[in-house]
Amino acid sequence: MTLELLGIAGAIASIIGAWWAWKSARNASRAASEADMALTEIRTRSTLGEVSELIALERQAVAAMAKYGPGSTPEAVAGADMNRDAHDVRSYLATLKRHRLIFGDRHPNDADRLCTKGFELLEHIAAAKKFEQKRNAASSLYVELSGFSYMLKSQYDVHRLGFGRKESALSIGT
């Protein structure tokens, strides 16, 4: 009889142990899921902060080049400091290059193409001897920067609102 009681007690202990293990596994799974969701939220907020920084710099860069944009007049650029304006664009492009992975991990992506074209146009501005040549390069740069605004807004929408494309298919400067 003692062996039977020990057998029954062992079976009951085994069932309780299995239930306890199942409950612990379920709790661990929930905790892992919550940790994964928290990590995703941190990454999303970090990327959103980076995109917000890029949007602010992009607005400065576009505003700096707007006076040289298509349809600009000599009066609009009178007294303009093209070196300071170019500095705003360089700052934006350098930051965009640093955060290029926001726009996909393929190489080159749209951010890479904009940076390459933008730095190339800044070199044209610096090398130009005549103001008209500088203004033409600056106008082209304005068009490139303005065209990329959509990509920034798209990334903002993806990370802030949770919709849109995570990787762009636009070709900047091609």
* 95-134 burial: b if 16+ Cβ within 10 Å, else e: bbeeebebbbeeeebbbbbbbebbbebbebbeebeeeeeb
Q: Can you give the pTM of this predicted structure? A: 0.69
**Interacting residues of 158 by C-beta distance below 8 A, sequence separation 6+:** 164, 165, 166
137-161 confidence digits (pLDDT tens)? 999 999 999 988 888 888 777 766 6
CB-CB contact of 114 with 102 (8 Å): no
Confidence of residue 163 (pLDDT cuts 50, 70, 90): low
13 or 73: which leads in pLDDT: 13
Of 24 and 3, the structure prediction assigns the larger pLDDT to 24
